[in-house]
Structure 1
Amino acid sequence: MAYKVDSDFFLAIPRPDKDAARLFQLIDMDRVSFRKFLPWVDAIKSYKNEEDFLAKVNINFGKGISLNLVIWYQQEIVGMISFNHLNKLDDSADIGYWLGKNYRRRGLMTKAVKGICNIGFSEYALNRIVIRAAIDNVDSNAVAKKEGFTHEGILRKGEKLLDGYHDENIYSLLQDEWRRMNARET
């Protein structure tokens, strides 16, 4: 599966044997800054760890548990975005994402979030998509706001990071809000 966002930007199901090396390289190049908000990077110590992770998320995709997508920009892998948990009972999902350090602050994650929301609302018939971001994760909070997500509140000490518990902002976008936003764009 590949989802074209625009002429030089698309999201695709990971190919563990082909994509793991580049994804590991992006993680390894910026391990220190990733660790602040993504403690899972410590578990990715080698190309093989990343390849195993990608194989696992593809199994979960097949089971309908999650959807992990590689972000491609100008024919190069630049990061990942995912529905970490697809909740079929509530028709909801929560988004996780990261970009390599050389690709941040260029509007790429905003495009990726828009793309995965389009997939979620149109192909998965989701009613609600959530972004949870540590209060001090300025970039993640900015992405949620820029894409029109509503700030619902703060989950006190809702996220355990390497330096302890952090309060989290909870943002959501509902299908009817997404439809209205898309109607304005056309």
Structure 2
Amino acid sequence: MFLYKIDDELSLKQAELNDAERLFELTESGREYLKMWLPWLDFTVTVDDTREFIKGSMLGYAENRSLTTVIIYKSEIVGTAGFNNINWSNKTAYIGYWLGHDYQGKGIMTRVAKGLTDYAFQLLKLNKVEIRAAEENKKSRSIPERLGFVKEGRIRQAEWLYDHYVDLIVYGVLADEWDKHQ
């Protein structure tokens, strides 16, 4: 099982089936907020849907193509983060994340994204990490900006959010840039 300690109050652990109820609880309590930016809420309406997501995540990890973790903050699961995809041919990982509404504004996700980027470069020996966020999602975009990622461009109408398309802003950082920035 994957477990990665970021600091004294924050760690990442591979999502497991026994995490489904807590993740679903966070999804339910933040559904309206999360729906503004995440396209999967209409497909997650029961705890069994969350279990199926976790099963798929476990398979992705077993096949070495992704890593989905739960964020543990002060011993409590508060969201998810990880590599939605790892492209081994190009040595690139794509970070995705979401955080329970009550846990925002504490610097948690910035520390998580930094920890995942450190892990990608130091342990996986990748060359690039990307984060993509909806153009209007200022909170999500502020994370790679704070960490020194480079804004690489915009993918027009890249994601369908229930009744409209959104443009995604692509941020990237290279291993040698990360070493210099840190």
**Same structural fold, with TM-score higher than 0.5 when normalized by the shorter chain:** yes
| CA distance in 2 between partners of 1:66 and 1:49 (Å) | 19
Matches within 5 A, 1:1-186: 1-16=2-17, 18-182=18-182
| CA distance in 1 between partners of 2:69 and 2:122 (Å) | 16
Q: Offset at 1:181?
A: 2.4
| CA distance in 1 between partners of 2:153 and 2:59 (Å) | 33
How many positions carry a matched residue from both structures? 181
SS in 2 for 1:140: helix
> After the TM superposition, which segments of 4 or more aligned residues of structure 1 sit over 3 Å from their partners?
none
For residue 74 of structure 1, what is the amino acid of its counterpart? K
Unaligned runs of 5+ in 1: none
SS in 2 for 1:111: helix
Deviation digits for residues 36-59 of structure 1 (CA, Å, limit 9, x no counterpart): 111202111111111121111011
| CA distance in 1 between partners of 2:175 and 2:69 (Å) | 21
| CA distance in 2 between partners of 1:104 and 1:95 (Å) | 18
State the Cα RMSD in Å: 1.0
Q: Offset at 1:163?
A: 2.8
Deviation digits for residues 46-99 of structure 1 (CA, Å, limit 9, x no counterpart): 111111211110111010111111100000000000211110110001111000
Unaligned runs of 5+ in 2: none
SS in 2 for 1:39: coil
Instruction: Point out the more displaced range, 116-125 or 100-109.
Output: 116-125
For residue 14 of structure 2, what is the amino acid of its counterpart? I
Deviation digits for residues 110-145 of structure 1 (CA, Å, limit 9, x no counterpart): 011011111111121110111111110011111110
SS in 2 for 1:176: helix
| CA distance in 2 between partners of 1:167 and 1:99 (Å) | 21
SS in 1 for 2:40: helix
Identical-residue share of aligned pairs (%): 36
SS in 2 for 1:159: strand
Calculate the TM-score normalised by the size of structure 1: 0.94
Instruction: Point out the more displaced range, 81-90 or 153-162.
Output: 153-162
